[in-house]
Structure 1
Amino acid sequence: MNLVPLMTWPIMTLSIILVVLSVILGLFILLHKARGGGMSDLFGGGMSTSMGGTSVAERNLDRLTVIVGLLWFATIVGLLVLYRIGG
């Protein structure tokens, strides 16, 4: 019977990266401006007016959120592969 330790160094490294990316992704999502039409409208948050265009900072935040989201997904796939092959 071949026993492989559950937490090898690649799995531990990717797990730490996943936790850091999860926190960063959550913060980036919370920084986005509410656009209306969502859950906030149910509780009276739909009274705000939209300014039409988006600022450069908001576009950059959108790009960063997508990049961090893709890295987060790639880390999960990497962990899945490592667990499948045994670390």
Structure 2
Amino acid sequence: MAVLIIVLKTIVAVLSILLSLLILLHKGKGGGLSDMFGGGLTANAGTSGVAEKNLNRWTVGIALLWVMLIIAISLIGKLV
């Protein structure tokens, strides 16, 4: 069981980094982190509505997977 928990925690760590990057990729509404990292400059280039929808889908999907893995780790930890 210890190996399973370590593997799940590693996956959660990787998903955390990926989720942070996906959130930073979202189109900024102004005055936030996206402007600080150059989001204001790329906003004029015009991102596709389809690209933004796909980015939203990926972000929500990975966030749900992240939450499910954390719940699974918690439940496995209670069994051990």
Q: Provide TM-score, normalisation by structure 1.
A: 0.70
Q: Which residue of 2 aligns with 1:56?
A: 50
**Distance in 2 between the 1:66 and 1:35 partners?**
19
State the partner residue of 2:12. Answer: 18
In the alignment, the residues of structure 1 paired with residue 29 and residue 4 of structure 2 have an alpha-carbon distance, to the nearest angstrom, of 40
1:28 to 5, 18, 22: 22
| Deviation for aligned residue 1:35 | 2.1
Cα distance, 1:55 vs. partner?
1.1
Larger Rg: 1
Q: AA paired with 1:82?
A: I
Where structure 1 has 5 or more consecutive residues not aligned to the other structure, the ranges are: 1-6
Write the letter of the residue equivalent to 1:85.
Answer: L
Task: After the TM superposition, list the runs of 4 or more consecutive aligned residues in structure 1 that deviate by more than 3 angstroms.
Answer: none
Q: Per chain length, whose mean CA-contact separation is higher, i.e. which structure has more relative contact order (CA < 8 Å, sep 6+)?
A: 1
Name the structure with the higher helix share: 2
CA RMSD of superposed structures (Å): 2.2
Aligned counterparts of 2:17 and 2:68: Cα–Cα separation in 1 = 16
Look up the SS of the partner of 1:35 in the other structure.
Answer: coil
